[in-house]
Structure 1
Amino acid sequence: MLHCLRPSQPTSADNLRSHRLPFQGNSSGITSSSGSQASTVLNVTNEYTSALQTSSYSEIRVFLDIETERPGEITQDQLLAQVLRPNRDFVEDILQRAKPGFITDLLWSFFDHSENKARLCLDLTQAIRRAHMLIAPLQDLLHVLPLDSETGSLSAPQCNSAFDLLLKYEQLENPFPSPGSRNVSGMRNCFSDLNTQLESLIKKSNSRIHFFHTVIIGFAIGLISVTIGVIVVGVIIAKHAFIALAAAMVLPAAFIPSKMEKREQYLLRQLDAAQRGTFVLHEDIITIERLVNHLYSDIEVNKRFIRNGLWRGKDMHSIMEVSRQLKRNNVYFQKQLTDLEEHLCLSFAAINRARSHLIQIIKLHQDDHS
C-alpha cells in the first residue's frame, strides 16, 4: 500500500553523505505560475521534447538499455542511484536541515513520490523486456508461416510448432499490471492528493503575502501622516525631536511585516516548485497508466482469442486463422511497446528536472539564511 504523506521523522545524520549538488538538465522548463494549470498542460509536451535533447536523457537511455538487454548485471537500487538526480542521500541531507513541520513533510512526500515513480518506471522497463520475450518466439514463427495466402497450408511440423507456441503464449502471465493496479492508480492518487494540498497552501501563502504587503503600505502611509503632523507641530515645539521619536516608533513596527513577507516569499517559491513538479508528474503518470492499460488489454485479448480458437486442438485452419489475427495485432502491439519504452525515458528526465528544480529552490533558501 502506498503511503501518500511521509511522517516527520528526520534521518540520522550518520546515514548521510556529503555530495556536490548533482544537477542535470535545465530546470527552467518548469516555468508556469501556480494556479495556471492550462498553461502547465501545454508545457508538459515541451518538457518532454526538451528532455530528448539533454545529456541526462542519453544517460538514462543507456542505463535502461542495460536493464533491458542484460538484466541481473545491476540491481534496481544501483540503477536508481545512477539515473535519479538528485539522489536520495543528497535530498535527505538538504531536507534534514529544514524546519520540521507539515510543509517540510509535503516536500519529503514529493521526493518520495518521485522516487517511487522512478522505481515504477524501472519495473515497467522489466515488464517490456518480459513482453518481448513473450512474443519473440511466436513473432519469429509468424514471419515464416504462409499466412498471407488464403490457399496456403501448414506442414505438420509448422502446425505443431505454431500450436505449442500459441498455447505457451496463452498460459504465460501477463507482464503488465492490470488496469486499476494499486501500484499505478495508487501512485496517481498520491500525486493528485499532494497536488491538491500544495495548491491549497499556495493560495494561503499568497493571501498572507497580500496581507503583509497591505500592512506595510498602511505603515508607510501612517508614517507619512505622522511625519506631516509632527512637522506642523515641530514648527512650534522642537520639531527634530518629535520627528525622530515618530520614526523610532513606526519604522521598527513596519520592519516586522516586511521580514515576515520575505520569509513567506521563500516559502511560496518552494511550494510553487513542488506543486508544478507534482502536476507535471501526475499528468505523466496518467499517460503511463493509459499506455500500460492498452498493452495489458491487448495481451489479454490475444490470449482469449487463442483460447477460443484452439478449442479443437491442432486443427490447421483454426491455427492459421489465429496466427493471422495475432500477426495483425502484433504490428500495433510492437508500436505500443516502443511508445512506452520511449515514454519511460522521458519520464525519468521529467522526474530529474522537477527534483533538481525544487532542491535548488530549497538550497537557495537555506544558503540565504545560513
Structure 2
Amino acid sequence: MNHCFGVRSWETQRQFRRGQRRERGETEFRSESSGISPIQSPTSTINLTNRAYHIAVRSESYTKIWYKIHRIDDSESTSSPASTILEPDKASISRALTEIPQTKTISLISDYFDYSEHTNHLCIDLHYSIGHARTIYDPLKDILLLPSPEISIAFGRFQTAANPFPELPSRDFDTVQHRLQALRDLLNTEMKRRRWRRKSGEIMQMEEAAKGAFVLRNELRTIERLVCRLHATVESNIGWLRMGERTEVAMMVVLELRRNLSGFDVQLGDLEQHLCSCLNFVNQTRVKLFHQVMFRRNTR
C-alpha cells in the first residue's frame, strides 16, 4: 500500500524538514534564550466538549506520542518516522506470531497488526501535511500586515503552492477503513461461533482486536472529515489570493484571509490532536495484543 498520499517521498520529507529547521533557526534561538520551548504544548488547544477525548489527550501516553512525533521533525535519522512511532515494532510482532500455532484467530490478529500499521503511516503522512501547511501559510500572516500595493505583489508567490492536504477520500484512506470494518465483522462472527467452546484466551484476543478495529475506523472517519475541511479551506484561500492581485480589492482580500487564517490555525490544531490520539490508540492496542500473544507463546 502506498502511504504517501502523493505528498512527498520519505527522502523528500527529510530535505523538507531540513529546510524547515533552517527557516526556524532564528525563532528557535529567541525561544531558547527566553526559556520558551518552540514546540507547542500538547494540551494548549484542547477542545473540552468531549470528556472522554479530553481525558485521553491529557494522558501520559498521549503526551509521549505528541513529543515523539514532533521530535522526529528535527531528527536526522534515515529510518522511517512511522517505525519510530509504532509500538511494538513490526519485527517484534512478526517474530512473536511465527512462534505460536497458526490458527484462524492468529491470522485475524495478524491482520489487525497490519491494518494498525497502515493507520500509523496515514497519520504520519498527514502530520507532515500539517507541517507543510504551516510552512506555507505562516509567512502569509506577515504579508497581510504590509501596505496594499506590496500585498498584491506578494500574493502571487502563494498561488503556485500546492494544497498540502489530499482530496479525500483517497484510495489508501478508504481501503484501510474498509479493511478495518471487514476485519471487525469477521472477528465478531468468529467470536459468536466460538463462545460455547470457552477458549477464553483466543476470545480475549479477538475482543481486543475487534474493539481496536472499531475505534480506529471511527478515528479515521473523524480525521477524514477534518482533512476534507482543511483541503476546502486551502482551496478557498487560493481563490482569495488570486483576487488579491488586483490592487482595488486587495484590502477586502486581506480582511477575509485574516479571518480564514485564524480559523485555519484552529483546524490544524484539531487535526493534529486527533492524529496523536489515533497514534496513541494504535500503540495501546498493539501492546495489549502483543502481550497476549507472548503469554500464549510462553505458556505453550
Distance 1:341 1:107, change over 3 A: same
Aligned residues: percent identity?
27
1:313-365 C-alpha deviation (Å, 9 max, x unpaired):
x4322221112111111111100111111222211111111111112222222
From 62, 65, 79, give the equivalent of 2:67.
62
**Structure 1 residue 98 and structure 2 residue 100: aligned?**
yes
Say if 1:81 and 1:87, in contact at 8 Å, map to a contact too. yes
| C-alpha distance in 2 between matches for 1:359 and 1:130 | 34
Say if 2:100 and 2:296, in contact at 8 Å, map to a contact too. no
Q: Based on CA coordinates, which of the two structures has the bigger radius of gyration?
A: 1
Structure 2 residue runs of 5 or longer lacking an equivalent are 4-49
Q: Report the 3-state secondary structure (helix = DSSP H, G, I; strand = E; otherwise coil) of the residue aligned with 2:156.
A: helix
Structure 1 residue runs of 5 or longer lacking an equivalent are 4-43, 146-153, 210-260
Residue of structure 2 in register with 1:353 after alignment:
284
Q: Report the 3-state secondary structure (helix = DSSP H, G, I; strand = E; otherwise coil) of the residue aligned with 1:179.
A: coil
Residue 50 of structure 1: how far off its partner (Å): 3.6
| C-alpha distance in 1 between matches for 2:2 and 2:125 | 16
Residue of structure 1 in register with 2:55 after alignment:
49
Distance 1:164 1:65, change over 3 A: farther
**Structure 1 residue 112 and structure 2 residue 109: aligned?**
no
Tell me the TM-score normalised to structure 1 length.
Answer: 0.63
Residue of structure 1 in register with 2:142 after alignment:
140
Residue 302 of structure 1: how far off its partner (Å): 1.5
| C-alpha distance in 1 between matches for 2:162 and 2:68 | 26
Say if 1:166 and 1:306, in contact at 8 Å, map to a contact too. yes
Residue 48 of structure 1: how far off its partner (Å): 6.7
| C-alpha distance in 1 between matches for 2:125 and 2:294 | 31
Residue of structure 2 in register with 1:174 after alignment:
163
Residue 98 of structure 1: how far off its partner (Å): 2.7
Residue 106 of structure 1: how far off its partner (Å): 1.7
Runs of at least 4 residues off by over 4 Å = none
AA of the residue aligned to 1:114? S
| C-alpha distance in 1 between matches for 2:128 and 2:172 | 15
Q: How many residues align?
A: 254
Say if 2:165 and 2:227, in contact at 8 Å, map to a contact too. yes
| C-alpha distance in 1 between matches for 2:59 and 2:164 | 31
From 128, 131, 139, give the equivalent of 1:129.
131
**Structure 1 residue 299 and structure 2 residue 216: aligned?**
no
Residue 271 of structure 1: how far off its partner (Å): 0.9
From 70, 74, 78, give the equivalent of 2:77.
74
Residue 91 of structure 1: how far off its partner (Å): 0.7
Tell me the TM-score normalised to structure 2 length.
Answer: 0.77
